[in-house]
Amino acid sequence: MLKVLSPSDHQLIDMIKKGGAGEERAIRHLLKRNGEMIKTFIRKNNGSAEEAEEVLYDAITSMLFNIRSGKFEGQSSLSTYLFAIAKRRWYKVFAKRTNHEQQHQDWSETLEQHEAFEDRSLVQAETGSILADLLARLHQGCREVITFWSQHYSMDEIAKAMGYKNSQVAMNKKSNCFKQLLMMVNDNPQLRATLAELRYT
Q: Which residues bind another protein (CB under 8 A)?
A: 24, 27-28, 31, 35, 53, 57-58, 60-61, 64-65, 118-122, 125, 127-128, 131-132, 135, 139-141, 146-147, 150-152, 163-165, 175, 178-179, 181-182, 185-186, 192, 195-196, 198, 200
User: What's the CA gap between 196 and 117, in Å, rounded?
Assistant: 22
User: Least distance to another protein from the beta carbon of 82, Å?
Assistant: 12
User: Least distance to another protein from the beta carbon of 163, Å?
Assistant: 5
User: Least distance to another protein from the beta carbon of 127, Å?
Assistant: 6
Q: Which is nearer to another protein, 102 or 139 (CB)?
A: 139
User: Least distance to another protein from the beta carbon of 49, Å?
Assistant: 13
Q: Which is nearer to another protein, 2 or 200 (CB)?
A: 200
Q: Which is nearer to another protein, 39 or 87 (CB)?
A: 39
User: Least distance to another protein from the beta carbon of 103, Å?
Assistant: 25
Encode the chain in three state secondary structure: CCCCCCCCHHHHHHHHHHCHHHHHHHHHHHHHHHHHHHHHHHHHCCCCHHHHHHHHHHHHHHHHHHHHHCCCCCCCCHHHHHHHHHHHHHHHHHHHHHCCHHHHHHHHHHCHHHCCCCCCCCCCHHHHHHHHHHHHHCCHHHHHHHHHHHCCCCHHHHHHHHCCCCHHHHHHHHHHHHHHHHHHHHCCHHHHHHHHHCCCC
Q: Which is nearer to another protein, 65 or 83 (CB)?
A: 65
Q: Which is nearer to another protein, 113 or 176 (CB)?
A: 176
